[in-house]
Amino acid sequence: MCGIWALFGSDECLSVQCLSAMKIAHRGPDAFRFENVNGFTNCCFGFHRLAVVDQLYGMQPIRVKKFPYLWLCYNGEIYNFKQLQKQFGFDYQTLVDGEVILHLYNRGGIEQTASMLDGVFAFILLDTANRKVFLARDTYGVRPLFKVLTDDGFLGVCSEAKGLINLKHSTSLCSKVEPFLPGHYEVLDLKPSGKVASVELVKFHSCKDEPLHVACDTVEALPSAGFDIDKVKSNIRILFENAVRKRLMAHRRIGCLLSGGLDSSLVAAVLLKLMKEININYPLQTFAIGMENSPDLLAARKVAAHIGSEHHEVILNTEEGIQAIEEVIFSLETYDITTIRASIGMYLVSKYIRKKTDSVVIFSGEGSDELTQGYIYFHKAPSPEEAAEESERLLKELYLFDVLRADRTTAAHGLELRVPFLDHRFTSYYLSLPAELRIPKNGIEKYLLRLSFEDSNLLPKEILWRPKEAFSDGIASVKKSWFSILQDYIDQQVDDLLLEKAAEKYPFNPPKTKESYYYRQIFEKHYPGRSSWLPHYWMPRWVKATDPSARTLKHYKSATQE
């Protein structure tokens, strides 16, 4: 995890512009470099480093003697860089996984480069010999990337929007900063003036398609025995374990978030098992946050005892959570209700990890709910086919919601997040299964995933079959959820009259509740006029919901009242 920043064709003094690069210093607390591009005095790169691999040669932009005309700034981890080296005979000059991007590009161009990378990434690649700039981002947008491109060809690129919004440019004061789309790459021509012109934006991978890099994966082709349930369960276990194994690549200590729900518990259990197998000589630290005796804390405690991790509990008090709201919204760059609620706990547990432990590479369970139909409203899906379509829609929008939350709350404290449920091969296989296999069954969501691990003894049965809890709800007590605690506080902060006139003040995505109004006010304070970053609020489908919390849904109430 790190922070990348680059400008092409700046009309303003670069020493002034580079102050904007310091807005993302939290993403890379270990080192910083600012470098001009030879021959293009108005083009430069900025890089904040969190040293996770190759502590000696890991600074960026990466340049190697073999390709003196290539400049690379990237954020992410490429898990198959050694397999690609073996397959194509690449001669690496560093131990940095991202160096493979230079070799792939030299061998087959940008299309092959983006398609063959197994990992999470956002990168800026400059080819001064051919006067091209390339931008690319992984399939699910696990690593963030924003850009601004003016009509006269000034380009700014950054890991977070906050590094671009205050850039100065002669022709426009308020240029449109926007997220770079996941699963895409963009080709831009670099003019002698340092300015750029976009040539094409290409989608190189869709979540349903088996990725091209399967050809050099550590797990060989799976036997095609149709959809026999035992074979399906075996494949799910094999691919998930492989997803966790490849993410063990790190020179810094590994830890794991553990809410006690199915997803983080499976990640923690498989992670610890594999760490033992490869003789990692320190205990796995697991981290849970919640109010005293909250459902998540109790469940996480049970999982930690079962798997034998070194478990840490962070007790959330109401005042601390409320005080964190503004800094959380600033970190997130969104005003989405459920994202903010869920981020507060994750932000505070990340703060604890950074201050109190030496774990830096943090595993988490993001992506499972979208992939395996874990949200409670999936029980109301009209048909398996519509549930499958909804699952794909949620995966495509992860970069706006859960993946955004997971990245910003951890990156704010200089931690690197790893999310095995969003492994390209695992997700494409799961999405290839018949729609009726993937829907909730017997009143239980994620039924197929649970069934696949039933005989593994990785988790206690009551955890494996524990019903879904939203993170923002599970950290609170059963009697009073976190969202209702927030609403009680905010009710005193927002006047009724303000809410009545909300649509006039905020015509795009107008707030409908005092809570959403409160969040929007804070967002607009830091990012005025940038409301289009959130195209719509996250809300459940097929139900008459006015609030995104699972606790307001009828299915949840009936389950907890039984």
289 annotated ligand binder: yes
Contact 437/370 with Cβ under 8 angstroms? no
CB environment 214-236: b (16+ within 10 A), e (fewer): bebbeeeeeeeeeeeeeebbebb
Q: Which of 201, 297, 248, 319 is nearest to 53 (CA)?
A: 248
With b for 16 or more beta-carbon neighbours within 10 A and e for fewer, the 417-438 pattern comes to bbbbbbbbbbbbbbbeeebebb
Environment class of residue 179 by beta-carbon count within 10 Å: exposed (0-12), middle (13-18) or buried (19+)?
Answer: middle
Query: For 371-412, what is the HEC assignment?
Result: HCCCCHHHHHCCCHHHHHHHHHHHHHCHHHCHHHHHHHHHHC
CA distance 300 to 349: 14
Three-class SS of residue 81?
helix
* Torsion sign (Cα): 257, 260, 266, 268: positive
Residue 216 known to be catalytic: no
Q: Is 365 annotated as a binding residue?
A: yes
Residues near 504 by Cβ (< 8 Å), separated by ≥ 6? none
> Is 257 assigned to a binding site?
yes
Is 407 annotated as a binding-site member? Answer: no
The rounded distance, in Å, linking the Cα atoms of 464 and 468 is 11
Closest CA to 59 of 25, 96, 104: 96
Q: Are 419 and 364 a contacting pair, CB within 8 Å?
A: yes
DSSP 3-state of 152: coil
Tokens (6 digits) for 439:
């829907």
Residue 234 marked in a binding site: no
Cα separation, 94 vs 58, in Å, equals: 8
The annotation places the binding site at 97, 257, 289, 364-365
The annotation places the binding site for L-glutamine at 97
The annotation places the binding site for ATP at 257, 289, 364-365
Give the residue numbers annotated as catalytic, written as ranges: 2
